[in-house]
Amino acid sequence: MCTAAPKRTAVEQEEIIRRQAEYIAALEQEIAALHKRVEELERLLKEKAGTKESKKPTFRQDYSLSRQERKRRRRRRKSTGRKPREAKQAQIHRTERVYPEGAAPEACDPAREQCAWRLEHGRAVYVRYEIFQQRGVPEVPRVVGLRNSRSEFGLEIHVVLAFLVYSIGVSIDQGREILRFFTGLDLSRSQADSLLNQLAADWEEDFEALCELVALAAVLYLDETGWKVGKRACYTWIFTTLSHVVFLCGKGRGGKVLDEILPESFAGIGVTDNYSAYEGRFRKHQKCWAHLLRKIISLMLRFPAKAHYRLFFEQLYAIYRDAVESQKAPSWTLDRGLRVAWLQRRIRALCVRAGEKPSQEMPEDEQRFVKLQNELVDCLDNLFVFVEHPEVEATNNVSEQGLRGEAQARHAARTSKTDKGAKRRSIITSVLGSLKRALPNFTFDSVLEEITQWWKEGISLFQRTLAESNARASPATARA
């Protein structure tokens, strides 16, 4: 049974009608406002469309199509950073006349002018050289001390910058700042980079002579450390003798690097760590004792509760100490061959676990301990070469120390950006490092005097040493 809806009173119906009328009026008002907004937007659209219309060309009597084309803006050429000639002239400190050595001034004619920055008494000066040429002689005197005789910077500036960057280890920008502060010479980044490139090109033949001298060494110390060329991971190698050093930056770590330097007939003694690339490369091979001792020292310090590590270290170090004493002993006081055999027997007696294969069930430190004993016995013939040949060192610390600068540069992210930069570093570090070994007093004055003599005589110290070595070897080769 449906219930009928309650009937509304007349008052309630009037109220409903009133509310609906108000709602309809509000809608009409909103619609009128929207119509007005639409009309306004249509007007604005018409105005915008009018502004987008293309303008008609203006015709004149001298009309041409090129006048209607939009003129292209010319790109400004990038500045090279070079100062105009007039600005350089204002910097000239003095003018010098340069004549060929031994030639009378009246027998010479002007050849050319050259301006160059020089270091004098610790300050940078800009000098103009009026260079004269002897009549009938094509050669023109050089004034800056480089094979690139037209360089705007003297040899001494190249050497100072190279020493700061590659020996001290500062960045190129820091080297520029040091030069500016102490000498007043304001080099741009590109100029500093160019100076190092010029010096590397000037020393390339000397670097090649050093590589050949290393291959003739009686004792050679080798090592390698990580390096980068751009984003490529690679290595820097060092080859050290008593008199010379060669760096090879940006190389791989395989035996091909050794092939670049050492011939198959290399007869010298090699001193290295236990890296496999060195195996079978030397007639006699001394393994570095420092690397071996460090391994047992690491175990002893990390695991002090395991007393057998300390006992092994003490016995191994006692053998090493006796070997060093035997090396220092005069040759007439002992039979070195017998002493080496005695030391080898002690190593075998110490390494009681030699021949045992480390298993995964062993603790990691025990695996390392067994591997060390196997390593000592496997390289037994390479442990006491320094006793048999007293001129050989028991470690390759001399090479490790030479690589410290490269390791520091790597840690400071100052590695090579390109292969060209790696080669430049190889050349300059090798020549400076070899000069440090060759000169009795390694100072700026002695280095500059030595290098200046090279270009005056047309041959460097290293090229002369190589020629003398080859001359000594030639009669022996001829007799053979």
Of the ranges 18-22, 386-390, 419-423, which one carries the lowest mean pLDDT score?
Answer: 18-22
Alpha-carbon distance of 156 to 197, in angstroms, equals 15
Q: pLDDT category, 478, cuts 50, 70, 90? A: very low
Can you give the C-alpha Rg of the chain in angstroms? 41
Which whole number is the average pLDDT over 296-317? 95
The helix or strand, by DSSP H or E, that contains position 252, with its residue range, turns out to be: none
- Maximum separation of any 2 CA atoms in the chain, in Å: 145
Sign of the alpha-carbon dihedral angle for 188, 191, 196, 197 = positive
Checking if the pLDDT of 6 tops 80, the result is: no
Structure tokens at 18: 């009133």
Checking if the pLDDT of 106 tops 50, the result is: yes
- pLDDT tens-digit readout, 169-197: 999 999 999 999 999 999 999 999 999 99
Q: pLDDT category, 7, cuts 50, 70, 90? A: low
pLDDT value of residue 460: 94
Verdict on whether the full-model pTM lies above 0.95: no
Are 357 and 294 spatial neighbours (Cβ–Cβ below 8 Å)? Answer: no
Q: Helices marked H in 184-243 — which ranges?
A: 189-202, 204-215
CB neighbours of 134 closer than 8 A, spacing ≥ 6? 99, 100, 103, 107, 108
Are 427 and 204 spatial neighbours (Cβ–Cβ below 8 Å)? Answer: yes
Are 211 and 261 spatial neighbours (Cβ–Cβ below 8 Å)? Answer: yes
| DSSP state, residue 106 | G
Q: Of 193, 98, 185, which is closest to residue 143 (Cα–Cα)?
A: 98
- pLDDT tens-digit readout, 198-209: 999 999 999 999
- pLDDT tens-digit readout, 49-66: 665 555 555 555 555 555
The helix or strand, by DSSP H or E, that contains position 116, with its residue range, turns out to be: strand 108-120
Which whole number is the average pLDDT over 114-121? 92
pLDDT value of residue 157: 95
pLDDT value of residue 148: 67
Alpha-carbon distance of 65 to 337, in angstroms, equals 100
Residue with tokens 């057998």: 308
